[in-house]
Chain A
Amino acid sequence: GEDVEQSLFLSVREGDSSVINCTYTDSSSTYLYWYKQEPGAGLQLLTYIFSNMDMKQDQRLTVLLNKKDKHLSLRIADTQTGDSAIYFCAEKGFQKLVFGTGTRLLVSP
């Protein structure tokens, strides 16, 4: 079945880079996504990558996709305290998104 896994917690200092990892199971996924959830809010799309790409850069965000290992990562450069949130990766299965359990990122000054 579909199962998206992430590490639960990551703590970094302001200005450092953050790397959040995710493994997924559906090799037929066409798109893979990173969503951000701030406290008390819904999920907001940060970025996505099409399955025929292996890297995508969007300002401070870099997404790496390893299809062979079904591994997705999100790198946030120059992490700021405002980046503190929960980050979910998601794969597009058949007609729906399947989300991981989320990684809580804590950025300390």
Chain B
Amino acid sequence: EAGVVQSPRYKIIEKKQPVAFWCNPISGHNTLYWYLQNLGQGPELLIRYENEEAVDDSQLPKDRFSAERLKGVDSTLKIQPAELGDSAVYLCASSSPKGNTGELFFGEGSRLTVL
């Protein structure tokens, strides 16, 4: 079974440019998460989807960040315009309601460098 797939793995852009990250969760997982991981820190939740509905986006900086999960499968996270402080790893994770432990399955992340 394929795991959570993210792309691109690495992205280098200049400040004020837009950037987008894509995530394909594990098949059958209806909950999808985007986490932000700054260097030397633990992941912090940006947004959580249940199917196509964003049920927790309280930590998403809505002035420049947006996300969507059309059809309740793949998701994209966009930053426009990017700032220097956005340099970080953006992790996507998914989970299944059938699992009784609440385990999250993570992708390898998209590392963003803003110059």
Chain B's closest residue to A4 (CB) is B42
B10 nearest CB neighbor, chain A only = A40
Bitwise, B1-36 to A at CB < 8 A (1) or not (0) is 000100000000000000000000000000001000
Name B's interface SS. Answer: loop
In the complex, what residue of chain A is closest to B105 when comparing beta carbons?
A45
CA distance A39 to B42 in the complex (A): 14
Q: Interface stretch among A58-66, A77-85, A88-96?
A: A88-96
Tier of interface size on chain A: 20 to 34
User: Which A residue sits closest to B55, measured CB to CB?
Assistant: A95
Q: State how many angstroms separate the Cβ of A96 from the closest Cβ of chain B.
A: 5
A: residues with CB less than 8 A from B are 4, 30-31, 33, 40-45, 48, 88, 90, 92, 95-102
